[in-house]
Amino acid sequence: MLKIISFKNIRSFLHFGCFFCAQDSYAGFIYIFVSMNRLLEIFKSKYFLCAAAFAVWMLFFDKNDMLSQYEYRTEVHKLQDDKDFYEIETAKVKKDLDELNTNLNTAEKFAREKYFMKKDNEDVFVIIKEAPKD
């Protein structure tokens, strides 16, 4: 059975919680009424209000708010990726340096490939493949 209930002021609406309610018995109505009153008491409590104000302050207005923490975290991840990249590059350069110091043929190959050096009687042709334009 569906009953439509009208309210005289907004306070009675807030205590009840809805404009209409399906009721088979008054026990459901009393439970809703009691639970709404209990929630209102909790929300009016000075401890709840202080905790809510503190949470809002820490989440949005503090120097280390949520947005700042997100930005810091993304910056840390970016710097960690850069660090990993440079560690790999450093390892490659150290390996090349060891090869250059130990083998003269490797040094000549490195000079020809990286710096396009040549002997006096040689010509060097550099072929650069262009990427297809789409």
- pLDDT tens digit sequence for 76-109: 999 999 999 999 999 999 998 888 888 888 888 8
Model pTM?
Answer: 0.48
Average pLDDT over residues 35-56: 85
- pLDDT tens digit sequence for 20-41: 444 445 555 555 666 777 778 8
Three-state DSSP state, 4:
strand
Question: Distance between CA 134 and CA 118 in Å, rounded?
Answer: 36
**Residue 12 clears pLDDT 80, i.e. is over it:** no
- pLDDT tens digit sequence for 105-132: 888 888 888 887 888 888 877 788 888 8
Do residues 78 and 71 lie in contact, with contact meaning Cβ atoms separated by under 8 Å? no
Model pLDDT, residue 88? 97
Three-state DSSP state, 125:
coil
**Minimal CA–CA distance to 106: which of 122, 90, 95, 121?**
95
